Structure 1
């Protein structure tokens, strides 16, 4: 088996950073009313700026494919050209199309010549699953390199216009014309952007990072769905897919809106995260002392103190001075967040040879968790 190295990390963030006060300029106001959830959600999540692939009129400026392709282009130079890419492995929860797959469309945008492609779907762990596919391909010798990406373009899903038909339907039914909290919640949580990594079977560049291992854990066998889109949740916890609804219901009930069961999120996301991380560390025989930087993808600063306390109680306390996050300035970019954290850390000038990095990505969709352990070479 080959060793696998992350030799380059890049990003692409669309347009200019957007402050909290300007979010509804871009997304619009549902029913021409300011959101009641906005202030509460933003106070808890601690995000101060984020990026949207939108104009102030809500017109898209980039597709997810273009965001991803631009992040890949930022990896390239004379020493590693687009034509050198042997595998493109892309993860996202917000593809532009139901089909073809996201990675195929990115390949078509790059026009880099013959490449193998892989698309990882899901939510936040999709980026890590794309990374693991590339890691295993290079490790097994199937390819000598892989370009892996994590990206999101959620802003276009959150435009007020997508919810106004449901509001009109509620008025017709003489019900309160207010979108449910489980839909409005995520409008103030999600951001756009893309990150990319170049994996190779030999170290290159000033500070390559060797991938020691990548682990994934799913608790779908124990827990019901928490975050979903293109479906509605029934009283028994099952999901009814969009294809089982009449087309008029797609608009009247905002079936395609991204929804979050916040009660389930609060109840399970931290406990299962600690359980899975402890299992991963014990499996590979590492302790908190073997971690110099922890890069935890958290959707909200609301969870940070609770996560730290649970780590401590479980005997895997990683001191806060080792935590590296950029949620406040970049926002929650889902499958792209861990790529954007690592890119910022790599270009911060802080890394030194021999340091160890632990990537930690939870996914609330049905409670999935991914971890990767890196050594700076």
Structure 2
């Protein structure tokens, strides 16, 4: 049975925050000025959003962020008809119940989803919400559900603000600061931000306008061949990423994943109008371009890609939702156009692809 993505929405909290204003919202840590400018130059992000005021008080929690995105889908009736809810995030203030369970309660309180539904909560790093999307697609495509909601949300500021984060200070133990545990946590304060997105999936296209038919999904973990790279410690909520592991393993694993996906699906990147990749930083831009070009008939004229990383920020698990919603609202899309959503995760190298084709009613 076919599955269609019929509505998208996103929510970026607060005002856009430029590079000079980050520490107004996240506070300052001793010694981070030494790395701040280099990190910001490297990642290419010029604006982001925080669910945080200038006194480091949350304006939204991750559950409300998700509910705000759902509320912007534009069809309360459509959302109300959903019988399946899947959701993913990196950090939630409660380890249990799962994110989708508490989100369901918030949606009910807001009058958006007032009936019992099947739920599926997904944890992880950047691919958690993409995995939730793949699960929602399968719930509809199997015929078990005619309508499903999928939500991705991220509230990274809650664990990165100076009043909470307690990085291990081992700077004196490392000649190269990038190898210190201190750097592995502190640099993320200039990389990550907050936001949420929501998709409505149905077993038929919408009656007016464009829908996106889901052609296939492909997920693969390569944790069997790479060490742990990025983690969120439950005992202290300390988020860190080993950049040396990232540099060594990310794109070799990307190559394995993409080769496996297009071989199994008998598909080609050449058949797509646009690739929408989750990128944590423009530092990886050239490597991403090469990974795409390698799978095109003419590597000198590869399928283009589009990202809003510079202006929406790196919203982690929510980024592919935020990205696709902005793309559909700002870029021309015609029936027959194919879009490829690509979400690599550096936790221990898990990857998700979603193949979409625009169709008219």
Instruction: Give me the TM-score of the superposition, normalised by structure 2.
Output: 0.90
Within the candidate set 41, 44, 69, 1:46 is matched to 44
1:283 and 2:280 correspond: no
Match of 2:346 in 1: 364
For structure 1, the 5+ residue unaligned runs are: 232-241, 243-254
Instruction: Indicate the residue corresponding to 1:238 in structure 2.
Output: none
Q: CA deviation at 1:287?
A: 1.8
Contact 1:163–1:179 (CA under 8 A) maintained in structure 2: no
Q: For residue 188 of structure 1, report the CA deviation from its aligned partner.
A: 0.8
The answer on whether the counterparts of 1:30 and 1:161 sit within 8 Å (CA) in structure 2 is no
1: CA distance, partners of 2:312 / 2:167: 31
Runs of 4+ in 1 over 6 A off after TM superposition: none
Match of 1:342 among 324, 327, 346: 324
The offset of 1:34, in angstroms, is 4.7
Q: Which runs of structure 2 are paired with 1:223-238 in the superposition (5 Å)?
A: 223-230=226-233
Distance in 1, matches of 2:97 and 2:225, equals 32
Q: Deviations over 1:184-218 (max 9, x none)?
A: 11111111000010000000031100000000111
- Secondary structure of the residue aligned to 1:180 is helix
Please give the alpha-carbon distance, in whole angstroms, between the structure 2 residues aligned to 1:282 and 1:170.
Answer: 45
Distance in 2 (alpha carbons) for counterparts of 1:20 and 1:45: 11
1:260 has 2:257 as partner: no
Unaligned ranges ≥5, structure 2: 109-113
1:132-211 → structure 2 map (5 Å cutoff): 132-163=134-165, 180-204=182-206, 205-211=208-214
Secondary structure at the aligned position of 1:157 is classed as helix
Out of 70, 73, 82, the position equivalent to 1:72 is 70
Deviation at 1:11, TM superposition (A): 0.5
CA displacement at 1:224 relative to structure 2: 1.0
State whether residues 272 and 303 of structure 2, in contact with CA within 8 Å, keep that contact through their aligned partners in structure 1: no
Paired residue secondary structure (1:96) = coil
Give 2:61's match in structure 1, choosing from 60, 63, 66. Answer: 63
Number of the residue aligned with 1:354: 336
How has the CA–CA distance of structure 1 residues 314 and 347 changed in structure 2, closer, same or farther, with 3 Å as cutoff? closer
Q: Aligned partners of 2:23 and 2:300: how far apart in 1? A: 38
**Counterpart residue number, 1:24:** 23
1:83 to 80, 83, 90: 80
Which secondary structure state, in structure 2, belongs to the residue aligned with residue 135 of structure 1?
helix
Q: C-alpha distance in 2, partners of 1:265/1:84?
A: 42
Conserved 8 A contact 1:358-1:372: yes
Question: Residue 111 of structure 2 corresponds to which residue in structure 1?
Answer: none
CA contact (8 A) 2:192 2:313 kept: yes
TM-score, normalised to structure 1, is 0.87
Find the aligned partners of 1:138 and 1:337 in 2 and give their Cα distance.
23
- Do the aligned residues in 2 keep the contact of 1:288 with 1:318 (CA within 8 Å)? no
Q: Say which SS state the counterpart of residue 359 (structure 1) adopts.
A: strand
The DSSP-based 3-state class of the residue aligned with 1:65 is helix
